[in-house]
Amino acid sequence: MVDESKFQDWTFEETLYFFEGPKIFTLKHDGQLFLAFFCETIDHETEKERHILVPLSNDQLDLLKNDELDFNSVLSTDSSFLVDIHWKLIIEPSFVQEKEHYIPRPGVTLHLPKEFH
């Protein structure tokens, strides 16, 4: 049985990547910081998107922002899980269980390498 309380009372914190809406951002739940990483759009009409959520420390967030930590390292942990997020910050458990094909390859960081700017 799913613990529904873990999907309530989330607070938006900071957008790290924005493209037609926040795609990579941080949230807080019960004082814990989480990273939300965009996977795919589930429903364009309701703006529901699938994300990987993972607990994140402030130190990890700083490392991500400075490209000293890649997304693969953060998202490949056992503590990450898939959710569907509605634009009003309604978070629901995802029925998809396999998160591995959404996780980027090692070395992918928040910013493009300088040669792509």
Q: What is the pLDDT of residues 23-55, one digit of tens each?
A: 999 999 999 999 999 999 998 887 899 999 999
More reliable by pLDDT, 117 or 20: 20
End-to-end CA gap in the chain: 47
Beta strands per DSSP E along the chain: 11-18, 22-29, 32-43, 48-55, 81-86, 90-93
Question: Above 50 in pLDDT, residue 2?
Answer: no
Q: What is the DSSP letter of 113?
A: -
∠ CA 103-104-106, nearest 5°, is 115
Q: What's the mean per-residue pLDDT of the chain?
A: 86
Distance CA 16, CA 37 (A): 10
Q: Are 36 and 56 in contact (CB under 8 A)?
A: no
Question: Above 60 in pLDDT, residue 117?
Answer: no
